[in-house]
Structure 1
């Protein structure tokens, strides 16, 4: 049982095979959880205590300077979205001062099958894979395998002669020389000059689509070969542009470590942190915990957002280890990852990164004149960083965050010593669970950090 510690192509729409590329711009002590073996009405305002033992101890919110009533409002607000039929299911988890004070599940894992959302549900986390890759790469940084200022071409020589698109040509982009070789720092801040092939019809993006740069049936090496023959979208270091850069980081890890990316991450991140349900595919013995993903039909009603054939691909071992969006995970697994970062690189006595490296990752690395999100936020090493909280909803300066294309989200606030993880599986113009959850959480704080 979850314990409470108290005091007294394969997809529905043509472009949706690339949905995981979409930028992830922002994010009670009573457990609302449903045992998958005893489904309840997904619209029910409450569920039953799960029979799954996750080893999670829920602490009284008041023990960490938060309000039980305030977190009940968080739970109620999220549940209302399920009751309205705007989302099929969800999980939320909050920790402060190292204690989990809220963990709730809502609605259905699979609405059509009548399967309620279990606490150990497995989700497609898409771009929330990126920070995991960043942590893995920085373990190699700590070993002196590279410097952030190193040209990527030192380790991936195929990139030594990349040109840069400079204009529109009759049969392809006009090109010019790069003014410098992209650096690893630029690779980790989406300023290396790559693109994604999905957000525009620039001639470079069209080439990405035509050659299927992120072909799930290929390998990371195949991706590098394709990229080596395509001009960069922009000059390295010139602007922030969401891109395949983290997939390239995955290949860089393989080069530096001599290991396949999946093996490396298991050794360096997943294994040490006890992230037992995370990886590049859903194992057969866990398939009954894999969540359905939804979208909206033309009338705005929920409908399944992925064909059966695409869903089955998630259950097969991958050959293309997408560092940009290929992971599945659970709420608890990802919270363990967040708590490691919040605790300056260590969790349960196991150190993954040094305090100095975590501080480096969560610092703004964008050069002068390069803006992300209008200047309110900067960009660290594989996640966004809040610089000016005055325009926000309670978050502190230094808060860092990211999310995934199916709606998963997290943020870590070092000043308030809290971490939040939310999981949904919803494509399209979904409700703003990221913004509303932040508002509920910060409204529930009764003792603020000095």
Structure 2
């Protein structure tokens, strides 16, 4: 699996000098200045890898050189994988997008919506309509994240410790149903635990815990052997360190250690975080992207139908709205201008509004520690980048990677 050297860029219409400028840019702008410990970049066209570069080390200013073996925390790049799992269940008739979420998790039948007040004195009302499975896919469920720091509801999430590692996905989802929604389903786009609830539904309808479902139905068949919710002992030395930059002080500190020094990834967690729990490598995630680019199949393994994949990368926001139109969240993993949302990731709807080259229909998403991917079906282009710095909004690395990548196209 990509153990050979990258293909000749000329053969896939890419300029080798401009490709070489991509890692050089990140080295000069981010690594040499001490902003990042490393940067891994991969670019393929037509399924052929034309650029695969690993620059920097596993620790900021020290450590071992990173490489194809390096394991990264991909956080919200877990969401597209969970969404694929849910669509596999859709293809088998085990769920529908128009079903009420309460059909699978009955506690959601009584969910209420924030109306007024602060976290200690909340007034609620009934939602305008029930929460649908589609709302979970598109982050229009009214479920948020506790780290948003912008609304009384996310303060309640923090108080209730939603997302704590010692409870299961289904238990967390049932607790979520007892808390108020931030808005009525379908009304607004809020980044949050929606995909976690979707993952719980996958467990319920499949009869399998999510990690086992992934291994048997997605990561195993696709040969993604380094993609898991934890890192086994024989691989733990390949997990690099993760850092966090304080927006107010500008100080960058260690958030989680490398290898056995990690506090979160050395054993299987109780919470199989469907929205952000996986670790992976660039080569593993490229196989997932390549499966989607090729219409749901890779190396003879059929994961989804081509029509299902085509359906997933259309804009499913109500009335063709964009994330900017509907978005109330102060945080998102992808820029919101000219971007809608499909089933599990963002979808480019207007490249002019995005203010950089690209193709409409491009499907993408990223992770909290500054990982990112995009799939451009028109150009048959896949781009993946990874480092380990939170939050992902610290530097504009994603649009920079894309503008450099599109500049490398010769034909």
TM over 0.5: yes
Q: SS at 1:324's partner residue?
A: coil
Q: Could you say which residue in structure 2 is the equivalent of 1:190? A: 139
In 1, Cα distance between the equivalents of 2:278 and 2:4? 23
Aligned-pair CA distance for 1:193: 1.1
Instruction: Report how far residue 85 of structure 1 moved.
Output: 1.5
Compared CA separation, residues 54 and 283, structure 1 to 2 (3 A): farther
Candidates 379, 384, 388, aligned match of 1:416: 379
Per-residue deviation, residues 182-224 of structure 1 (Å, max 9, x unmatched): 1111110000111112213422212111111111111112212
Q: Which residue of 2 aligns with 1:50?
A: none
Of 285, 289, 294, which residue of structure 2 is paired with 1:338?
A: 289
User: What is residue 27 of structure 2 aligned with on the other side?
Assistant: 79
Change (3 A) 1:234 1:302: closer
- Answer yes or no: is the 8 Å Cα contact 1:178–1:235 preserved in 2: yes
2: CA distance between counterparts of 1:228 and 1:394?
41
Does residue 16 of structure 2 align to residue 68 of structure 1? yes
Q: What do residues 169-193 of structure 1 show as CA deviations (whole Å, max 9, x unaligned)?
A: 6843211111211111111000011
Report if aligned partners of 2:282, 2:384 keep a CA contact under 8 Å in 1.
Answer: yes
The 1-side partners of 2:74 and 2:195 are apart by 15
1:437 aligns with 2:401: yes
Give the Cα–Cα distance (whole angstroms) in 1 for the partners of residues 395 and 294 of structure 2.
31
Q: Does residue 306 of the first structure (1) align with residue 260 of the second (2)?
A: no
**1:285 shift after superposition:** 0.5
C-alpha distance 413-229 of structure 1, shift in aligned 2 (>3 A): same
Structure 2: runs of 5 or more not aligned: 326-336
1:381 aligns with: 343
Which structure 2 residues correspond to residues 2-41 of structure 1 after superposition, within 5 A?
none
1:106 aligns with 2:55: yes
Cα distance, 1:302 vs structure 2:
4.5
Partner of 1:241: 190
Deviation at 1:370, TM superposition (A): 4.7
Q: 2:103 aligns with which of 138, 154, 168?
A: 154
Q: TM-score, normalization: structure 2?
A: 0.92
Name the residue aligned to 2:329.
none
Range that drifts further, 171-180 or 88-97:
171-180
Distance 2:129 2:72 in 1: 40
Query: Is this contact kept in 2: 1:86–1:431, CA < 8 A?
Result: no
| CA–CA distance in structure 2, aligned partners of residues 302 and 165 of structure 1 | 36
Alignment pair present for 1:317 and 2:268? yes
Contact 1:240 1:370 in 2 (8 A): no
Q: Structure 1 residue 434: deviation in Å?
A: 0.8
Q: Is the 8 A contact 1:87 1:302 kept in 2?
A: no
Tell me how far 1:436 sits from its aligned partner.
1.1
Where does structure 1 lack aligned partners over 5 or more consecutive residues?
1-52
Contact map agreement 2:240 2:257 (CA 8 A) in 1: no
The match for 1:260 is: 209
Normalized against structure 1, the TM-score is what? Answer: 0.84
On the 8 A contact 2:78/2:274 being kept in 1, the answer is yes
Q: Which runs of 4+ in 1 moved over 4 A?
A: 297-302, 307-310
* Cα pair 1:191 1:237 within 8 Å, conserved: yes
CA contact (8 A) 1:220 1:321 kept: yes
Structure 1 stretch displaced more, 387-396 or 184-193: 387-396
**1:19 is matched with which residue?**
none
For 1:357-396, what aligned pairs fall within 5 Å after superposition?
357-368=308-319, 370-374=321-325, 376-391=338-353, 392-396=355-359
Match of 1:284 among 219, 224, 233: 233
